Amino acid sequence: MIKSTLLSACCLLLLATACKKNNDTPPVDPGTGTDTIPIPTGKKEAIVWIDLNANVFGTYGRFNDTAAIRKTLDTLQQIGITSLVVDVKESSGHTVFPSAYTKKVGSHNGKSLPADVDYLDFMVKKAKERNFKIYASVMTFVEGDNDDKTGAVFEDATFKNKYQSIVCDVNGKRVPITETGRPGFVNPAYPEVQDRIINILKEIVTKYAVDGVILDYGRYANIDADFSDYSKTQFIQYLKDVFHDQNANFLNFPTDIVTSWKTESGQTTPAVTGKYYKRWLAYRMSVIYNFVKKAHAGVKAARADALFGAYVGGWYGDYYPVGVNWGSQQYDPFNDPKIRMDWAYPQTKEYGYAEELGLLMTGNYFSQLYLADNPATANLTYNWWSVEGSVKGGRYVTQGKVPLVGSIDAGNTNWNQKSDIRRAIKLILSQTSGVMIFDLVHLYAPQYNKLQQPLWDEIKAGLQP
């Protein structure tokens, strides 16, 4: 899910979006209404995410050795895990299996994939032997590792000069994203970019007996992307088609969208927005929605029984900078009587993609567990910056249209005490269809978690009825 072992999947800072509130707009009102969405009942999934770089290529990773993999999977079974998410396409865009559309992952840090086996095939077989479900995850719109300078954005002239995402710097200058030191995101709007990842997804479900595929980083890099000429052309057409805007051709790009920029917590964010800003946000959400719909159809056409899911940050009210509306189309953020969404537009609800998914995992990576733990949130029903408030908010905006699985970041969260891990797991299980634990390496390698101790027992305690 995240390239660096030590980075939280919540913060996504390596791939450039913030875990804290975005301060470009007035704060989102978390709402004080009544939670009326039914809580899922029945058997709940207990999922662990297996980050490729941390578990295979990391200093203390175990998943470059088949014997160690078997032993670790046995332990997972013993503590109550029922499902695995296995990274198969990394930030370089390379895959762990031979693909017709990209290169195979090589070595990192002197470590390689397990010898003499097809890693994904081996993982599938060992998962099935233990009655685990297994999902393959892909870093959807990232095609370049800026540390190793590998991937299509560095190795293919078309990707480098055409498909690579163009971002605005703090001076308003448009530059390729890799020049800012960030990973090689590509522009999701290009049909060729979409077809490439959809073909990889289809390869996965036809070649391997995975239970499904999970989109990770199925989004824009951040609010400063994508300001390419191609996006400009598409946006002008969007204004004409959706708003019948007769002045669209006279758009001043990009200043009619963002007039000036500022640096905030290391991120480039809008200082002053232009007259088309909110319509631009809606356009970007339309791009991601249309891709998700297309990818869903492609996966189901390739294999009808394959689950199609996604991981997103659980802070819905502040997730708009990356161009994603993961809510249901039955939820209207523009006319919401309970929660203020100042970034929303009347068209925003049309781009909610919850109905396209068979599973949605949200990152609820917060040290505050319950709303009552903080006087500022004690009287609220929804709040994106606590575990309870964000899982309730997730159920609210998805309207029961998709199985929702809340998630914890076991190793990177600043827990007040170790027992908060089990409490967070039990809280999430009480509110959603399951829990996802990021990341496996945090459980067995104390060097990779802030508590500096193995976490097996705490996860087991959280999963017990």
What secondary structure does DSSP assign to 223-245, as a single string?
Answer: TTB--SHHHHHHHHHHHHHHH--
Q: In the structure encoding, which two tokens stand for residue 247, read together? A: 């002045």
User: Looking at the predicted structure, is the pLDDT value of residue 4 above 60?
Assistant: no
Backbone angles phi, psi at 406, to 5 degrees: -80, 160
Average pLDDT of the chain? Answer: 93
pLDDT band, residue 32 (cuts 50/70/90)? low
Closest-CA residue to 57 (of 7, 6, 106): 106
Which one-letter DSSP state was computed for residue 206? H
- Reference 141, options 193, 103, 192; nearest CA is 193
- Tens digits of residue pLDDT in 355-377: 999 999 999 999 999 999 999 99
Strands (E) across 327-383 are located at: 359-363
The tens digit of pLDDT for each residue in 113-132 reads 999 999 999 999 999 999 99
DSSP 8-state class, residue 161: I
The answer to whether 132 and 149 are in contact (CB under 8 A) is: no
pLDDT beyond 60 at 263:
yes
Q: How far is CA 285 from the centre of its chain?
A: 15
Give residue 31's pLDDT. 56
Q: What CA–CA distance (Å, rounded) separates 196 from 192?
A: 6
pLDDT tier at 249, thresholds 50, 70, 90: very high
The predicted model gives 271-291 an average pLDDT of: 98
pLDDT score recorded for residue 14: 34
Six token digits for residue 193: 């970019």
Percent of the chain with pLDDT over 70: 92
Is a pLDDT exceeding 60 seen at residue 8? no
pTM of the model: 0.94
Biggest CA-to-CA distance, the chain: 65
Residue type for position 16: A
3-state secondary structure of 166: strand
DSSP state of 81: -
Virtual torsion, Cα 342, 346, 350, 351, nearest 10 deg? -30
